[in-house]
Amino acid sequence: MSSSGIVKPQTYMLEKELILDSGKKLKNIDITYETYGALNKKKDNAVLVLHALSGDAHCAGLHKKSDKHPGWWDAMIGKGKAIDTDKYFVICSNVIGGCKGSTGPSSIEPETNKSYGLSFPVITISDMVRVQKKLIEFLGIEKLHNVIGGSMGGMQVLEWMTKYPEMTASAVVIGSTSRLSAQGIAFNVVGRNAIMSDANWNNGDYYETKAPDNGLAIARMIGHITYLSDKAMHNKFGRRLQNSEKYGYDFKTEFQVESYLKYQGDRFVERFDANTYLYLTRAMDYFDLAGKYGSLSQAFSSVTANVLVISFTSDWLFPTYQSKEIVSTLMSLDKKVSFCEINSPCGHDAFLLEYEELTDLVFNFLGNI
Amino acid sequence: MSSSGIVKPQTYMLEKELILDSGKKLKNIDITYETYGALNKKKDNAVLVLHALSGDAHCAGLHKKSDKHPGWWDAMIGKGKAIDTDKYFVICSNVIGGCKGSTGPSSIEPETNKSYGLSFPVITISDMVRVQKKLIEFLGIEKLHNVIGGSMGGMQVLEWMTKYPEMTASAVVIGSTSRLSAQGIAFNVVGRNAIMSDANWNNGDYYETKAPDNGLAIARMIGHITYLSDKAMHNKFGRRLQNSEKYGYDFKTEFQVESYLKYQGDRFVERFDANTYLYLTRAMDYFDLAGKYGSLSQAFSSVTANVLVISFTSDWLFPTYQSKEIVSTLMSLDKKVSFCEINSPCGHDAFLLEYEELTDLVFNFLGNI
């Protein structure tokens, strides 16, 4: 069982109207979050964990005893783990635009009493972080000991240390980038297209009808290919067949990799909202610190955090050269930055798998700030 | 204008029943092909060009004067070019299962007078080559001076030199593999799923109704990402926007890479049949010389051809290590083999772009067999 035991998601409502990057306004925003460990008296032991595209606020512990799986980063968070809950007060909040409690396109719009659907404003990584800041302030924390996250979570970390340096004592950016590449945008485009081409999508208004499950499943399948590496897929599945030693000469599911992808697609639609997939991938498309601030140097000029950047050798979605760009820019500005490229065949998914190496790095980094 | 001038596709009908790898039978098979240059008296100057997934028999010249584009490999085939039509008699045939003249799922089934659709038998790379052999025999050629092709065309080349060594004097395998990787299968799976999830697909029976254009367009978009490299996409599009300098904060086509992919998807459905996409990708899934013969060494044991293998540094769909596996196996068997990895940022598409390097290699190789 998880060392964090049973946890209960909480929700903070931000009543005050927030102006988003798009210029649109949003109010009465629900922010769902979980916490593990205890905030000390000085309120200086808080670690904010930021989740990736398909993650949520439930990063450790169980919701009920019978849960088969703990939160998504339980291996990293708990007593004596990389983020030690005996020492730190860990907070993880669901991003806005999400579908796991925080306000997003599937939430009920107060004015209409119907789900927002596409009337939900397009959000950015910066908007997600803007809302997280309100939560941190609500919790009475002036400065976070650390913000940490992988993938889209790493984008939020970069945004935190860039935009709110006075609140960010240290930052850990894992398998991420300061701007999404053309190839990254391209994969998002195809995933969104699959959803928006689904006959059930109905311009985002499907909450009382059939959901665009086929489209969302295809988007997820594409995602899964990009999360694994060529080698990881070879090791995991190779060309092995599912139930036979001979080809079936038809279009039924036959290869193990085929079965895996279809399974992942089918499971995903049970727990995820297609519109959220559109909103979160669009937020990633728009993420570009150099574009926003003029250059990456200008973006990072106000950074005061002690930064640790981690990449993985076989991650081709957010390749090491993108992490190195962050590191070399911070170094050129004389900022405190450490970098480690972990040797892993697991591809982008390594941030959810390489716990031994990650624990060594993160445990020591957090203890030495 | 193309040096090959106006060419006319021809069709040879193979009346005799053919037994396919699946055990199913097919008769009255149309094989559409084009030829360029002249067959010499000894009939020993024939070069067979084999096309990739979305290619066809029209690899050089124009069909009519007003054509905007020549055949797909016109830069390689013609007077004084890599495959010099002053010296060689060049043949290119459309594969069976295709949708450009040769018998495939969109062809009319004689028994029913309706399009085959899914009643068309699943075919393999070996079946494609089996049919090509009949065409070559019909043309009175006992031994091909060379067989050459890239990608799926390269798989056919490998099949030719393995299965019909007595007919293959030399072979050029470009950006290909002796067996499709798990990642390659995975991309095919997602593309097929997009087609088969399209409400218009109707289990392949859509020739008299609306075609599954959305699904086919998505499959093509995925394909295009895999044909380019991260760097090629960065160089070609970067994060540039289409019509504006500011984000639109919506889900309209906005990034140049987004516009490019949608354009490629939309154009493809005008010229390609969705069922053919299913059949040809399945044929690629099934291609595995080591699996078929027990090992790659056993597969290549009877090879007598002089072989040239070419790969591209940035091709991540058929990476260099897969070409090297072919080369090292042929070398271990003391076969005549040369290898070149071309330094190119163009990804898998390089076999349709890096004409200068390809011309040097192929021109010299063909002249020295």
Q: What is the mean pLDDT of chain A?
A: 97
Q: Give per-residue pLDDT as tens, B83-129.
A: 999 999 999 999 999 999 999 999 999 889 999 999 999 999 999 99
Q: B99 to each of A288, B63, B107, B141, B198, how far by Cα in Å? A: 43, 17, 8, 26, 20
Give the closest residue to B120 by CA, choosing from B254, B228, B45, B29: B29
Give pLDDT tens digits for A278-289: 999 999 999 999
Q: What is the ipTM of this complex?
A: 0.95
Burial class from Cβ neighbours inside 10 Å (0-12, 13-18, 19+) for residue B23 reads: exposed
The residue annotated as part of the active site, out of B198, B213, B315, B349, is B315
What is the least distance, in Å, from the CA of A264 to any CA of chain B?
Answer: 12
Confidence of residue B3 (pLDDT cuts 50, 70, 90): confident
Q: Is B191 within 8 Å of B92 (Cβ atoms)?
A: no
Residue contacts between A and B (CB atoms, under 8 Å):
154
Please report the pLDDT score of residue A1 as a whole number: 57
Residues of A annotated catalytic, as ranges: 151, 315, 348
In sequence order, the 6+-apart residues with CB closer than 8 A to the CB of B202 are B209, B212
pLDDT surpasses 60 at B315: yes
Best mutation target, B190, B233, B295, to test chain A (most A CBs within 10 A): B190
Region A109-129: mean pLDDT is 96
Active site residue B349: no
A127-155 mean pLDDT: 98
The pLDDT score that the predictor gives to residue A333 is: 98
Q: What is the pTM of this model?
A: 0.96
* Segment B324-330 mean pLDDT: 98
- Report pLDDT digits (tens) over B340-357: 999 999 999 999 999 999
A191-249 per-position pLDDT tens digit: 999 999 999 999 999 999 999 999 999 999 999 999 999 999 999 999 999 988 899 99
Q: Is the pLDDT of residue B1 over 70?
A: no
Percent of chain A exceeding pLDDT 90 equals 97
Does the domain at residues A10-179+290-367 carry the CATH identifier 3.40.50.1820? yes
Q: Looking at CA atoms only, how far is residue A349 from chain B in angstroms?
A: 15
At B263, is the pLDDT very low, low, confident or very high (cuts 50, 70, 90)? very high
Chain B residues whose beta carbon lies within 8 Å of the beta carbon of residue A215: 197
Q: What is the pLDDT of residue B244?
A: 85
Exactly one of B2, B93, B126, B151 is catalytic; which is it?
Answer: B151
- At A110, is the pLDDT very low, low, confident or very high (cuts 50, 70, 90)? confident
**Cβ distance of A189 and B288 shorter than 8 Å:** no
A3: pLDDT strictly greater than 90: no
**What is the average pLDDT value for chain B, to the nearest integer?**
97
Of B193, B247, B251, the CB nearest to A221: B193
pLDDT at B214: 97
Backbone dihedral region for residue A178 (phi beyond 0: left; psi -120 to 50: alpha; all else: beta): alpha
Bridge partners (DSSP) listed for residue B171: B147, B307
Contact A251 B122 (CB under 8 A): yes
The hierarchical CATH code for the domain B185-281 is: 1.10.1740.110
Give the residue on B whose Cα is nearest the Cα of A194: B218
Instruction: Say if domain B10-181+288-367 classifies as CATH 3.30.470.20.
Output: no
pLDDT tens per residue across span B43-87: 999 999 999 999 999 999 999 999 999 999 999 999 999 999 999
Indicate if B185-281 has the same CATH topology as B10-181+288-367. Answer: no
CB-CB neighbors (< 8 A) of B23 in chain A: 249
Query: pLDDT tens for residues B179-226?
Result: 999 999 999 999 999 999 999 999 999 999 999 999 999 999 999 999
Domain boundary assignment for chain A: 10-179+290-367, 185-281
Radius of gyration of chain B (CA): 20
Residues of B in contact with A325 (CB under 8 A): none
Is residue A78 helix, strand or coil?
strand
